[in-house]
Structure 1
Amino acid sequence: MSGYCDIAPGHPLHGPYHDTEYGFPQREEAVLFERLLLEINQAGLSWETVLRKRAGFRAAYDGFDVDAVAGYGEADRARLLADPAIIRNRLKIDAAIHNAGVVQRMRASHGGFAAWLDAHANEDGKRRDKASWVKLFKRTFRFTGGEITGEFLMSLGYLPGAHRPDCPVAVELRQRAAP
């Protein structure tokens, strides 16, 4: 996504995301769940729209608390569908609630969402490719097609390509990863 390195710097929304989040590894469950929820909601829309509504998503989805979202019922669905601060799409809302339950179960099966991602990062002794990740995500989560899965994983450093090799953020990420 080298084009992002060209348009994001200096932009009031894209700039901070590009410089401090995009491509940066994350371990915290709420941060991972937020990223997945935002990527799902971006489908069919611009990333700028999602970034503009980010605070609304945070408020509407209890700070991206997995346990709270997994427990949502019909009243919460109705509340979310009526909330103009978020993207009001029933399929995306249902996916968020379902996926929160999936993340809850990952605690028992793998020790958490980050550990689940780490456990699947390699396949047959080599780094898992995008197509394989997409198949895994489609079996595991709802509303996670190729673009959503690819962007989610790229945004966390599990897939390459978040930044141009000469982007200052890419240089910083390589320095952080060096032993």
Structure 2
Amino acid sequence: MSDYCDLAPGHPFHGPYHDHEYGFPVADDDILFERLALEINQAGLSWLTVLKKREAFQRAFDGFSIERVAAYGEAERRRLLDDAGIIRNRLKVEAVIHNAGVIQALQESHGSFRAWLDHQHPLSHGDWVKCFKRTFKFTGPEITGEFLMSTGYLPGAHRDGCPVQARILAAAPPWTRSRE
């Protein structure tokens, strides 16, 4: 994403995300869930819109606690759809809540969401998309690809000449390792 590497540095929202999160491996399941939820909410909108609303999303979705979000009922759904601080799209809200329950099941079967991702790795982008479509709601090619790039499972978050790329490579994201 060479364009992002040119646009993001120094930007109040894009800069910190580009420099410290985008493309780095993620170990924490709640952070992985947040990234998936944010990518789902970005669909049809700009990433800047999502980054500007990120704190509101974190408040609205209880810090993206998988356990809490998976337990949401009708009252929480109504609360989210009434929250002007987030993107109030019923399909997206329902997908995030549903996917929290899916991730809980993956945690039970694999020990963690990250372990499930590691178990799938390495896959081509197309195979990842098929896997995500079988497993989650509201995860097409763009959402799946961006989620996987942002968390280090697919390459392409930064161009080779970007100074952040060297830090990412030093962090050894999954895309740099073959399955052993």
Could you say which TM-score interval applies, normalised by the shorter chain?
over 0.9
Cα separation, 1, equivalents of 2:2 and 2:125: 17
Percent of aligned positions with the same letter in both sequences?
65
Give the superposition deviation at 1:175: 2.5
Distance across 1 between alignment mates of 2:115 and 2:137: 19
Aligned to 1:44: 44
Secondary structure of the 1:165 match is coil
Q: Distance in 1 between the 2:108 and 2:35 partners?
A: 21
- Structure 1 residue runs of 5 or longer lacking an equivalent are 123-127
Report the equivalent of 2:85: 85
Aligned residue-pair number:
174
The amino acid that maps onto 1:172 is: R
C-alpha distance after superposition, 1:35-78 (max 9, x if no partner): 00000000000000000000000000000000110011111110
Superposed structure 1 runs of 4+ greater than 2 Å apart: 175-178
Task: Give the CA deviation at 1:107.
Answer: 1.3
Q: Please list, as runs of the form range in 1=range in 2, the aligned pairs for 1:15-30 lying within 5 A after superposition.
A: 15-30=15-30
Letter in 1 for 2:6: D
RMSD of the TM alignment (CA)? 1.2
Query: Counterpart of 2:2?
Result: 2
Query: d(CA) in 2 for partners of 1:176 and 1:23?
Result: 10
- Structure 1 partner of 2:53: 53
1:140 paired with 2:138, answer no
CA-to-partner distance for each residue in 1:149-177, whole Å, 9 max, x for gaps? 00000001111100000100001112332
Deviation string 1:116-171 (CA, Å, 9 cap, x unpaired) is 0000012xxxxx11000000000000000000000000001111100000100001
2:69 counterpart of 1:74 = no
